[in-house]
Chains A and B, each alone.
Chain A
Amino acid sequence: MQETSALNGLTQTVMYVDEVKQIQAVSDRLHQDSRARAILVVDKNGQLIASAGAASELDTTSLSSLVAGNVAATGGIAKLIEEEEFTGQYHEGKGISVHMTIVSRRVILVVLFDKNTTHGLVRLRVKKATVELERVLEEVTKKAKTPQVNVFAEITDADIDNLFND
């Protein structure tokens, strides 16, 4: 993942194939080791980066946006009471519980689990996965410092217009 500042102060996140693969591998492993129902790795702005387990049965787009909104709101609360940042959240449901962890201040690791496992096991496995994710994200930050090709530099007005012609 690459986060760069554009001229206008806008920032851009770029995820390359290698990084997504590594994040995917961490998610798959966490899914197995924790016996969770599903794993989502979500960017803090609400974009899904990777998912594992029963994620295909879920509306991951909506979930990602709500998870990010939730974390943003909690972050806002933390700021108001001068906590640095809450690093995680846990919501216990009758059937399914949700465990959320913020990793490297930029992605949210979401674990959905049921009676097939325990919160203790989930927490334990999440710790390990967090360390792995941190490592990937660190590599990524290094990589971001070297300039990459902008594939969109070549898009034309016609390309853009075509999107709206249906």
Chain B
Amino acid sequence: MSFINYSSREINCKLVYYGPGLCGKTTNLQYIYNKTKPDAKGKMISLATETERTLFFDFLPLSLGEIRGFRTRFHLYTVPGQVFYDASRKLILKGVDGVCFVADSQLERMEANIESLENLRENLADQGYELDKLPYCIQYNKRDLPSVVPVEELSELLNPTRVPEFDAVATTGIGVFDTLKALAKQVLTELRKGS
């Protein structure tokens, strides 16, 4: 839920990176963190297990420029991908303003992608949201790997509604900012519609 503070003149929006385990959600945030100027970011927090698997969420606060005298801030969250963390995923979706679905392009992860996308729909519905009405984009990550499914096929399978989609290699940053910008733009456009 976007949060507009007339006192501090700030807009805060919450973006969530969703997707199956190991698809590269945390890597997206790490790349954004590493490439953002110190004055435009806060600390990145990762609530992870000892083996660096996301346990609850990663959190990265970004501060972009001003719009109409209001400083725009985006709070980026990732969810834990593993199936058994479903209760945590639901909590993180609370108050979401925009979702990026990160798909793992590898053939052997197709099942996991489909399952995770269905899970996203269900969990949003539980909170009273509809994915198709939310600012939403898809990222096809790990394009550098040998066993990737062609983008056209991925798109047909995972993006029937034709939301903005991006190829990515999160480890080297390809597509990472394009994805973020596309999502942030949709969220701000939504603000314009107001309530």
Q: Which residues of A contact B (CB under 8 A)?
A: 3-17, 19-21, 43-47, 49, 59, 61-62, 65-66, 69, 72-73, 75-76, 80, 150-155, 159-164, 166
Which residues does chain A contribute within 8 Å of B70, judged by CB atoms? 151-152
Which chain B residues border A164 with CB–CB below 8 Å? 64, 181, 184
Instruction: List A contacts of B43 (CB < 8 A).
Output: 59, 61-62
Chain B interface category by residue count: 35 or more
A-B contact pairs, 19 of them (CB 8 A): A8-B133, A9-B128, A10-B1, A10-B129, A14-B6, A16-B6, A20-B8, A43-B3, A61-B43, A65-B45, A65-B61, A76-B87, A150-B195, A152-B11, A152-B70, A152-B188, A159-B68, A163-B65, A166-B65
Measured CB to CB, the closest approach of chain A to B121, in angstroms, equals 13
Are A7 and B193 in contact, with the CB atoms below 8 A?
yes
CA distance A73 to B12 in the complex (A): 22
Besides A12-B3, A76-B91, 12 new A-B residue pairs in contact (Cβ under 8 A), listed by A number:
A3-B1, A6-B195, A8-B133, A10-B190, A12-B195, A61-B42, A69-B92, A151-B68, A159-B67, A161-B185, A163-B64, A163-B72
Contacts of A72 in B (CB 8 A): 91, 94
Rank and list the top 3 A-B pairs by shortest CB-CB distance, nearest first: A150-B194, A20-B7, A45-B95
> In the complex, what distance in Å separates the CA atom of A20 from the CA atom of B94?
23
B191 close to A (CB within 8 Å): yes
Chain B residues touching A, majority SS: mixed
Instruction: Find out whether the CB atom of A13 lies under 8 angstroms from the CB atom of B91.
Output: no
Tell whether, in the assembled complex, residue B67 and residue A13 are in contact, meaning their CB atoms are under 8 Å apart.
no
Q: A15-B7, A45-B95 are in contact. Are A155 and B68 (CB under 8 A)?
A: yes
Rounded to whole Å, the gap between the CB of A109 and the closest CB of chain B is 17
Task: Assess whether B108 is interfacial by the CB under 8 Å rule.
Answer: no
- Find the B residue at minimum CB distance from A162: B65
Q: Which of A5, A12, A153 contacts B192 (CB 8 A)?
A: A153
Inside 8 A of A61's CB, which chain B residues have their CB? Answer: 42-43, 61
Q: Are A152 and B67 in contact (CB under 8 A)?
A: yes
Q: Mark B41-63, 1 if CB is under 8 A from A, else 0.
A: 01101010000000011010100
Beta-carbon contact of B134 and A10 below 8 Å: yes
Q: B1–A12 contact, CB under 8 A? A: yes
Expressed in whole angstroms, the Cα–Cα distance for A159 and B95 within the complex equals 25
Selected contact of B12 from candidates A20, A47, A152, A166, CB within 8 Å: A47
B166 to chain A, nearest CB (A): 15
B155 within 8 A of A: no
Contact yes or no, B6 A17, CB < 8 A: yes
Question: A62-B43, A152-B191 given as contacts; is B1 within 8 A of A13 (CB)?
Answer: yes
Tell me which residues across on chain A come within 8 A of B59, comparing CB atoms. Answer: 62, 65-66, 69
Complex CA gap A14/B8 in Å reads 12
Q: Are A152 and B192 in contact (CB-based, < 8 A)?
A: yes
Question: Do B1 and A155 touch (CB < 8 A)?
Answer: no
B94 to chain A, nearest CB (A): 6
Collect the chain B residues with CB atoms within 8 Å of residue A12's CB: 1-4, 194-195
B115 within 8 A of A: no
B97 within 8 A of A: yes
Could you say which residues of chain A place their CB within 8 Å of the CB of B8?
20
Instruction: Report B-chain residues with C-beta under 8 Å of the C-beta of A161.
Output: 185
